Amino acid sequence: MWRYLRSVLWKAKLIRGVFNTAQSVNTDKFISNGPCSSVSGKKWVRPSGFATGLKTFNSLTKQKEPLILKRERVATWYSCGPTVYDHAHLGHACSYVRFDILQRILSRLFGITVIHAMVITDIDDKIIKRSWEENVSPTTIATVYEDEFKRDMLSLKVIPPAVYLRVTENVHHIVTFIEGIIKNGHAYATKEGDVYFDIQSIGDRYGKFVGAVDSQGEPGSTNKRDSRDFALWKQSKPQEPYWESPWGRGRPGWHIECSTIASSVFGSQLDIHSGGIDLAFPHHENEVAQSEAYHQCGQWANYFLHSGHLHLKGSAEKMSKSLKNYVTIKDFLQSYSASEFRMFCLLTKYRSAIDYSESSMLEARTSLGTISTFIHDAKAYIKGQLQCTPVQEAVLWERLAETKYSVVNALADDFDTPRAISAVMNLVYHGNCQLQPVSKSDGVARSPAVFGAMVSYIRDVLDVFGIDLLHIKEADVSICGSLEGIVEKLTHFRSEVRAFALAHQDGPITGSPNKPGLYPERIPLLKACDILRSDLAPLGVLIKDRGATSTWELTQGKPSQRGQDKDQETSS
């Protein structure tokens, strides 16, 4: 016992150090490597600033790098938002939820304030085409789908950015930004009224992402100096929306909007830029080229984080509207919850491709169910409703300390959520091993505190990830309190009936085929209790008989967890 206690005390001291690191994370350590303007070529230079103690995979270097921020405990973060011409689908949701999880980890676990800005592309060829098809204005199309996108994100528990910025409200900034690039000698206007970025003007600086060097470039005017040159400003066509500019009526190119808007919020230096892996080239490549040409600096964004594609299982193609192989967020949420989708995302690394299927969603649902069932059983034990064999308390305290240490280390190592979830599930497993129900436990020492600590910690970790097991779906929250009260009363009444039916006579009845000592006339009551338990399970009420007492939980109307039939024995 003393050996366990010494181990627990040592682990506790270690964990305090880990969580102090998670909150302060060496942000008092300033690293200086000189001004960004001294950088040349495609080589990434470790930025000056405050070390966080975390490492993240940087697409600019294709490897993990120490995360260093310009300001202490503050991360500036820009992400590419949606082009609002149609419904958002699970491919979009996967990227936004994954980066929401990363931002939550930074802020809620490591104490870093994330200032997040996102652009809404509300003018684009696809929006214009859709407006023609539906005979409405591009503004109407953009407004409808922007509002739907924001509702979808809220339904998935994605924390809104500090600010959404629309392209149409920033065209005057974009024109000024383009003028600055031209002035610095990195763009040119054509006689048709288009403006292109001059790739050759930046020499070997172009091609920081894979595939850039061999690219054939974007289609456009035959007056381009290089096939890789891309449009900053596009001359308007008949019946298209337009804005006045020094080069005539037109509208912004695709890439320039992000450079301008990110710069308008964060200036010439950005900590983190995120997006789907499909945006690395040409979009992010061109963003970097434009921004560094405008600011005349060598390293505009210090870290690029890219999320992997979502695939329908069995398909090599990503989920996309153009391939018509997508599931809308609204349709998805008819079958699964936001928490289940988050668990689905957590079970793979954010930068890995992920297969979507019924089986992968069932795995996520089962993982959440296992955690929820443990929490319910642990609470029943704490309240004295669940009688168990003696608990090895010191072992559980040690397991809890090890889990805390493992989770922090996993998330500090490129946000390794699968490893963190594995550590939590391992803690649940060891907790379940200690919760061995018995009919009677008179005089057995109890250890409720350690289970209280485990439940609190697991809830805290899930809260970091945006998963809340305390609440049912939002539509059911208003009736949740009343329903729980009804189920509690029903279960209590059923328990009293079972206790009456299980009461033993003074001695067994000779030759009776029934259970020894039970009153034969009460056997139908036990069968009725079993039938009630079975009938309630498909309705989302899971009752578990624990010897002479019973516990219950709400399962949101889903099939009962891992075999209620397996865990329960017939009372009769």
> What pLDDT does residue 326 have?
82
In DSSP terms, 115 is beta-bridged to 76
Of the candidates 487, 478, 563, 571, the one whose C-alpha atom is nearest the C-alpha of residue 523 is 571
Cβ 431 vs Cβ 374: under 8 Å: yes
What are the tokens at 348? 């793979």
Long-range contacts of 237-243 (CB under 8 A, 24+ apart): 239/132, 240/128, 241/123, 241/128, 241/138, 243/171, 243/175
pTM, 2 dp: 0.83
DSSP 283: I
Report phi then psi at 56, rounded to 5.
-140, 150
> What pLDDT does residue 11 have?
46
Count CB neighbours of 298 within 10 A.
Answer: 18
Structural element, H or E, at residue 356? strand 354-356
Cβ 53 vs Cβ 109: under 8 Å: no
> What pLDDT does residue 546 have?
77
Secondary structure class of 518 (helix, strand, coil): strand
Residue 65 neighbours by CB under 8 Å, 6+ apart:
44, 46, 55, 56, 57, 58, 303
Q: Which residues of the chain have pLDDT under 70?
A: 1-28, 32-41, 210-217, 219-221, 314-318, 320-325, 441, 471-481, 506-516, 556-572
Domains and CATH numbers, the chain: 44-356 (3.40.50.620), 365-465 (1.20.120), 476-504+518-554 (no CATH)
> What pLDDT does residue 121 have?
98
Axis-axis angle for helices 448-464, 358-382 (nearest 10): 150
Cβ 374 vs Cβ 428: under 8 Å: yes
Residue 125 neighbours by CB under 8 Å, 6+ apart:
none
Evaluated on CA atoms 64, 69, 73, 77, the torsion sign reads negative
Maximum Cα–Cα distance for the chain, whole Å? 109
> What pLDDT does residue 67 have?
98
Write the pLDDT tens digit of every residue in 438-468. 877 677 788 999 999 999 999 999 999 999 8
Structural element, H or E, at residue 371? helix 358-382
**E strands along 72-160, which residues?**
74-79, 113-120
> What pLDDT does residue 556 have?
59
Cβ 387 vs Cβ 441: under 8 Å: yes
What are the tokens at 161? 């950015």
DSSP 475: G
Task: Specify the length of the chain in residues.
Answer: 572
DSSP secondary structure string, 237-277? Answer: PTTS--B--TT-SEEE-TTHHHHHHHHHHHTT-EEEEEEEG
Write the pLDDT tens digit of every residue in 269-281. 999 999 999 999 9
> What pLDDT does residue 314 have?
66
Cβ 402 vs Cβ 431: under 8 Å: no
Does a cis peptide bond (omega within 30 degrees of 0) precede residue 282?
A: yes
Secondary structure class of 551 (helix, strand, coil): strand
